[in-house]
Chain A
């Protein structure tokens, strides 16, 4: 068990380093960019923003007269207290407050999408590999490769145009209908579900291909392995071999991919949210880009980075717990 903990500790060390790199990048970017980008930005907002806003902005970036190391210390001190500075797009709201409001929607959308596409894709991959050379195997992988070639957000635009605006099967914007008060009542939850449908379907379709192909290739290896041959020799029913023997053994590499996929899925989620006006991190990102709200952009980057790193660590822990080989 100590070996398992060592593996985990090494991974945690890597993630801690990545988190530090993200934080330091956020600190250094305004200072490293050519032509003193931060001053240029402040100058641009001069006259547009009130003096207090400018002051808050200067403080956010820690652009004081102190030395670089003192500034860095102040910056880290603020971060530890959860202070990510002040948003320009939503002035005078602090970035952390704006982010937390939107985080829930992104977690709901991205989480559901990831679980659904992982579940469906893995199951489909297992079946495709099982019926190797059959019509499913001949058509599903190339079809998914083709669909996967479209940008996530383009599929979102297509679904929105067809099912939202033309057929009017689903609402086109926001996370719930206007005039509803958030709460645990059925009307509100139904509205949330309806608004979730199109973005969710987009993300599941776009994400499916990777899972199918990953599971298919592991399954093909596993199907030639001893346990499967043994199960066949014993005359066990095909369905039992497929799900209980082969799929179970082939699941582990896909599970590792699950953690790796988080960062990627969140990238897809962000742009899809923008198309559907879904009020999560992606929607904020668009507001931030349009208002050139650097504190908000960097806050989004940091939040998502920490979320991805945390989820990776969780997946690592599960993998170590499930796979005895990783403990050696």
Chain B
């Protein structure tokens, strides 16, 4: 059984994942305290579309607002919604997938069908159709992203539950008369902690991208300051025409660095879930010690031990 402690150790001992933790941590810190350190992101402060200068480190937008303030303040709502979506998606996925895998029979059939149908529908057009009927705002975005995003996690967790279903401790719980929901939540899911962590991170990365995309289309609250609306206004204020790269580059870098950081963290978590990956050490190769990979050149693969 893998506890939180082991997952954290796995992440921290993995050089790439450690870099990811630092990246994500830096952005969470900015999102938490940043808005108090910069000015009002919506205030008109200078001539529109000014390039970066000492007064305005990242320049001004097409409406004369400070880009640094907008980038910093946009991080908070964006990361909160993404984190909330990631959490909900994992809870829904764990319950549906866990129950489907544990119960089997008609419930599993119905759940699997719902999972497969949801997975095969094209994501973005579906999100647009749903979001367009809802009042614009973070709650609607959250709902739409959960509705369209739960299925992948449910499928993964269902498969993992299937592999645990016939273990002794599960049978013991059944004999003890515990309810299915309790067995899944208390007996089975704690064994899948690292998988659930990886699912949460993956769902959060996906939620950041989808949220920014929807808001870029104008389906968010365009009066609020988020990373998505920053990009929406950058295209709508002719920033591209005038070559004002500073209006969209900082926000895009923010989105990418958080996403990249989370992906790096997941490499560390993955090693917990899948010990076979421990020999992979891709990031160790990237960040120094190339010794680790040297013995793995495929000279005589049949001479190597088959596992790990």
| Contact surface of A with B, Cβ cutoff 8 Å | 14-15, 17-18, 21-22, 25-26, 29-30, 33-34, 37, 130, 132-133, 137-139, 141-142, 145-146, 149-151, 153-154, 157-158, 160-162, 164-166, 223-224, 228-229, 232, 262-264, 266-267, 270-271, 274-275, 285-286, 289-290, 292, 294, 297-298, 300-301, 304-305, 308-309, 312
Contacts and interface: CB of A to CB of B under 8 A. Distances in A.
Interface in B106-153: 113, 116-117, 120-126, 128-130, 132-134
Contact of A133 (B16, B296, B302): B296
A308 B260 contact: no
Contacts of A150: 252, 255-256, 259
B235 interface: yes
Contacts of A139: 286
Contacts, number: 174
A153 B259 CA distance: 15
Interface of B: 16, 113, 116-117, 120-126, 128-130, 132-134, 209, 212-213, 216-219, 231, 234-235, 240-243, 245, 248-249, 252, 255-257, 259-260, 263, 282-283, 285-286, 290, 293-294, 296-298, 300-302, 306
A165 B240 contact: yes
A157 B235 contact: yes
A151 B212 contact: yes
Q: Is the interface of B mostly helix, strand, loop or mixed?
A: helix
Contacts of B124: 266-267, 270-271
Contact of A14 (B117, B235, B242): B117
Determine which residue in B212, B296, B301 has the highest number of CB atoms from chain A within 10 A of its CB, and name it: B301
B200 to A, nearest CB: 17
23 contacts: A17-B113, A29-B133, A133-B296, A137-B293, A138-B285, A138-B293, A139-B286, A141-B282, A150-B259, A153-B231, A164-B240, A166-B243, A228-B301, A262-B122, A270-B124, A270-B125, A271-B124, A271-B213, A292-B132, A294-B132, A301-B122, A304-B125, A309-B120
A263 B129 CA distance: 15
Given A132-B296, A142-B286, A304-B122, A149 B129 contact: no
Contacts of A304: 122, 125
A174 B149 CA distance: 33
A31 B243 CA distance: 45
Contact of B133 (A153, A294, A309): A294
Given A224-B306, A271-B217, 20 more contacts: A18-B120, A21-B121, A22-B121, A22-B126, A29-B130, A33-B134, A138-B290, A142-B286, A149-B260, A151-B216, A153-B216, A154-B252, A157-B231, A161-B240, A286-B218, A289-B128, A289-B217, A290-B218, A297-B132, A304-B125
Contacts of A137: 282, 285, 293
Contacts of B231: 151, 153-154, 157
A285 B297 CA distance: 49
Contact of B301 (A130, A149, A162, A229): A229
A305 B122 contact: yes
A264 B130 CA distance: 17
Given A29-B130, A133-B285, A150-B256, A301 B125 contact: yes
Listed from nearest, the 3 A-B pairs whose CB atoms lie closest are A267-B124, A133-B293, A263-B122
Contact of B128 (A146, A149, A160, A285): A285
A130 B301 CA distance: 12
Contacts of B257: 149
A289 B218 contact: yes
B213 to A, nearest CB: 6
Contacts of A158: 245, 248-249, 252
A18 B123 CA distance: 13
B245 to A, nearest CB: 5
A141 B231 CA distance: 27
A300 B125 contact: yes
Contacts of B301: 223-224, 228-229
B123 A264 contact: yes
A141 B59 CA distance: 33
Contacts of A151: 209, 212-213, 216, 231, 252, 255-256
B81 to A, nearest CB: 15
B217 A286 contact: yes
Nearest to A224: B301
Contact of A157 (B128, B234, B260, B285): B234
Contacts of B113: 14, 17
A299 to B, nearest CB: 10
A141 B263 CA distance: 12
A14 B242 CA distance: 49
Contacts of B245: 158, 161-162
Contacts of B120: 14-15, 18, 263, 308-309, 312
A17 B117 CA distance: 7
A285 B121 contact: no
Given A138-B285, A151-B252, A297-B132, A223 B122 contact: no
Nearest to A143: B286
B243 A165 contact: yes
Given A153-B216, A263-B123, A142 B129 contact: no
Given A157-B240, A263-B120, A263-B123, A229 B302 contact: yes
